[in-house]
Chains A and B, each alone.
Chain A
Amino acid sequence: MDIRKKITFTYVALSSFSTLLLCIIVFVLFRENNRYHFLKRLEDRAKIVASIHFQEDPEKIKYYSNLKKNGLEELIEEEEYVLKINSTNSFDYNTKLNLPNQFYSNVLTTGKDYFEINSKYYLGQVFTENNQKYIVIVGARDRRGKTTTVYIVKILLFGGIAFVLLAFFLGRFLAKRVINPVARITKEVNRISASNLHNRLPEVKNSDEISDLTATFNDMLDRLETSFEIQANFINNASHELKTPITTIIAESEIMLLKERPVSEYIQSLENIYSQASKLGNLTESLLKLTQTGYDGKKQVLDIARIDEILLEVKSDIDKIYPDNRVSIKLNFAPKDSNLLLIPCNKPLLELAINNIITNGVKYSDNNEVFVTLSANQEVIKISINDIGIGIPPEDIPHLYEPFFRGKVATKYIGYGLGLPLASKIIRMHDGELQVQSEQNKGTIVTILFKKANIKNPNIKNSNVES
């Protein structure tokens, strides 16, 4: 049974149950009300009977019987008896009456009682006249009560059936309304497969469970895509990223080996080589771990690092590869409060990402000036990297994050098209946003945003290129 049917049947069952309950209550209360009013009438009759009986006036008796016939509403099978009470538990008995003893004793003790048999009611009441007690018993058949009861049962029955039918259709409608968004999501999810993992579900605006589901699903796709691509491109990424430290190590050792040098220079050089090698080690480890676990945000012990320190470290790395670079790190917009610069991250990877982006700026501007500006406040950490380079043609921008993509104008520069895709993935993993604004032959502004509020509620869909 699918959910749609389940919802319909549950709805029908629940509404039938509540309707049934309502019917029972209406029925019981209706009968009680009928009985109450009929007994009230009998009571009134009993009063008149008692009064006529006590006065013993033949004229009045005649008048009463006339009145009963013409004036008062007729009671069916009406009987009336006046029984004289002799002592506390004995009275004149009328043989026409066939009522249980319990009834009489109740009347004697409480002064009033009624008895019902086959919708015929007998009401007994005690009256006192000249210190002599009488039991007045009035009996009549409540035919109207019976017919109205049957009538209301009919109404309730047909009404109930109609209501259940209505509930069925309403339930179908409800089920459809509830299920539709889910069905739509299923349909859309079916479109997405390993070959087009970059597709996302259209965002639903109203913030209900369905939009949560969409967001969660998109989030999952993000992680899936990231780890999928990182795993698929491990060898590429590793070779690409390991090249830089290895180049430094080779260069350093080559220079040292050119001629004989004093011990202090060797020590200095070995220290440099050591630091580069350990960086290499860290990087390999991080990349390996990334490939191994995919990116499961839950299984990570993140480093808490200061973003300005990361930038300065990146700068010193770049200095080693491009000794005459013109990268300037501007920290004057950064807040005084160092806590605002704290970011939970995987430090080697984040360094790598920022390094890749800044190096791109240096490379594609023929070593022109690159400005790196850091600003931060309570909500966001923002790094913007401006270069005055060749820029990116608009038609290339959608492909920026595809591994091995090389723009047309970029072909004269050495590169593999791996740096930016990896950087964008790493930034996405840190719940960051990467925006690229570029104008051909004028330059490129790359903005990296880490929103602090976003860290709980990742919203990475906007990380597409804005040109």
Chain B
Amino acid sequence: MYKLIIIHMKNFLIPTTFERDTINAVKSAVYQAKNTNCEIILMMVSDTPDTFSSLQFLREMKVSLTTSQEEVLDSCKDIIDNTSNCKIKIHNQYGLSSAVFKGIIDAFDVKLVVLTLSYKRETKRIHQHLVKLAGNQKCPILHLGNEKFKNDFNKALYIENSRANMHVKDVQEFLSQNFSFEIVSQTSNFEDNYEDFAPYLSEAISKYDIDLLVETRKGEKIKFKKTKKENSSERLGLPVLSLYEELA
């Protein structure tokens, strides 16, 4: 009997505007790579220049980083230089659509999208659009929290979406294939009554040293709302790994 072993290359996509927490995103990607070969793609998106002349288009497509952004980029590169297995790649993306984003994920063979808090708080429409588009992709998303950076995750709390009907065993099965942490607790979705729920949650989190939340998501139609609703699982400050409900 021959057994075919496929070693997955783990590639990470980090949409960024080179705020300081990009460094954390790169660090956590390096840890998630777990000494396998990987590529970390830092993606900068901007709108397609609105012009009819191709020359002007080319002129406006120029990227220039501010000094602080350069610094962040340099420290990211330093982190990567200290590893033997990771490579960094900078990708400039002009204009974005669902199909284009899917193409990017396919082309770079992305296994995990890492979203930082600062990126999600960007006010430019294209960044908001990217965050929403990422939600509709099947690729898992790691939302980094605002807590202090922690190297690796071990224990996760699974927030069960009552409509999803995903048993914890399926989720754990997917996680053990791709990541190295295990689910130790489960709770139903507390979207509506976060206030009532918070004490129970924080108790469980401190009791079991939970350092990651796992939630599932469904694709939804992209709408731009004036009032931005903050996801309640992000209010706990922990990083959230969001899995698409039709994984497998």
Q: Is the CB of B173 within 8 A of A298?
A: no
Query: Does B187 sit at the interface, judged by CB under 8 A?
Result: yes
Q: Does A301 contact B (CB under 8 A)?
A: yes
Closest-CB distance, A68 to chain B (whole angstroms)? 73
Q: Does A398 contact B (CB under 8 A)?
A: no
Which one of B165, B170, B176, B187 contacts A301 once the chains associate, using CB atoms below 8 Å?
B187
- Interface segment among A78-86, A339-347, A417-425: the answer is A339-347
Report Cα–Cα, A340/B167, bound state, in Å. 10
Contact status A301-B204, CB under 8 Å: yes
| A452 contact set on B, CB distance < 8 A | 167, 169
Query: What are 29 A-B residue pairs whose CB atoms fall within 8 Å in the complex?
Result: A297-B188, A298-B188, A298-B193, A299-B197, A299-B200, A300-B187, A301-B157, A301-B185, A301-B186, A301-B187, A301-B204, A302-B186, A303-B185, A303-B186, A304-B168, A304-B182, A304-B183, A304-B184, A304-B185, A304-B186, A339-B170, A339-B172, A339-B173, A340-B169, A342-B169, A342-B172, A344-B160, A452-B167, A456-B162
In the A-B complex, the 4 residue pairs with the closest CB atoms: A301-B204, A344-B186, A339-B169, A302-B186
Residue A455 at the chain B interface, CB threshold 8 Å:
yes
Q: How far is the CB of B185 from chain A (nearest CB, A)?
A: 5
CB distance from B183 to the nearest CB of A (A): 5
Q: Which of B167, B170, B201 makes the CB contact (< 8 A) with A455? A: B167
Contact with B along A283-305 (1 / 0, CB 8 A): 00000000000000111111110
Among the listed A304, A340, A456, which residue makes an inter-chain contact with B165, where contact means beta carbons less than 8 Å apart?
A: A456
B12 within 8 A of A: no
Report the interface size class on chain A: 10 to 19
Cβ-closest chain A residue relative to B158? A304
Q: A298-B188, A302-B185, A342-B169 given. 8 additional CB < 8 A pairs?
A: A298-B193, A302-B186, A304-B183, A339-B169, A339-B176, A344-B168, A452-B169, A456-B162
**Residues of chain B with a CB closer than 8 A to A297's CB:** 188
Check: B203 CB closer than 8 A to any chain A CB.
Answer: yes
Bound CA span A297–B183, Å: 19
B166 closest partner in A (C-beta): A456
For the complex, is B78 an interface residue (Cβ under 8 Å from A)?
no
Q: Which residues of chain B from 180 to 215 have any CB-CB distance to chain A below 8 Å in the complex?
A: 182-188, 193, 196-197, 200-201, 203-204, 208
Per-residue 0/1 for A445-461: is the Cβ within 8 Å of any B Cβ (1 yes, 0 no)?
A: 00000001001100000
A299 CB contact (under 8 Å) in B157, B158, B185, B196: B196
Tell me which of B169, B173, B182 has the highest count of chain A C-beta atoms within 10 A of its own C-beta: B169
Q: Which residues of A contact B184 (CB under 8 A)?
A: 303-304
Is B168 a contact partner of A300 (Cβ separation < 8 A)? no
Closest chain B CB from A293 CB (angstroms): 9
> Complex formed: what's the CA distance from A344 to B183 in Å?
10
A455 to B168: give the CA distance in the assembly, Å. Answer: 11
Contact with A along B218-246 (1 / 0, CB 8 A): 00000000000000000000000000000
User: Within the complex, what minimum Cβ distance (angstroms) separates A285 from chain B?
Assistant: 10
Question: Which residues from B are CB-within-8-Å of A337?
Answer: 173
In-complex Cβ contact of A302 among B176, B187, B197, B203 (8 A): B187
A449 shortest CB reach to chain B, Å = 15
Closest to A289 in B: B200
B186 proximity list for chain A (CB < 8 A): 301-304, 344
Provide the residues of chain A in CB contact with B185, threshold 8 Å: 301-304
Shortest distance from the beta carbon of B163 to any chain A beta carbon, whole Å: 9
| Bound CA–CA A379/B48 (angstroms) | 51
> Please, how many angstroms separate the alpha-carbon atoms of A297 and B160 in the complex?
13
Q: How far does the alpha carbon of A20 sit from the alpha carbon of B80 in the complex, in Å? A: 78
Complex CA gap A338/B32 in Å reads 23
Residues of A within 8 A of B182 (CB): 304
The CA-CA distance from A143 to B81 in the complex, in Å, is 103
Highest count of chain A CB atoms <10 Å: which of B162, B168, B176, B193: B168
Taking a contact as CB atoms under 8 Å apart, the answer to whether A300 and B183 are in contact is: no
Looking across the interface, which residue of chain A has its beta carbon closest to that of B176? A339
Q: Which residue of B lies closest to A340 (CB)?
A: B169
Interchain CA distance A344-B196 in the complex, whole Å: 21
- Determine which residue in A297, A337, A342, A456 has the highest number of CB atoms from chain B within 10 A of its CB, and name it: A342
A223 to chain B, nearest CB (A): 14
Query: For window 310-367 of chain A, which residues contact chain B by CB distance below 8 Å?
Result: 337, 339-340, 342, 344
Measured CB to CB, the closest approach of chain B to A374, in angstroms, equals 15
Q: In the bound complex, what is the Cα–Cα distance between A303 and B203 (angstroms)?
A: 12
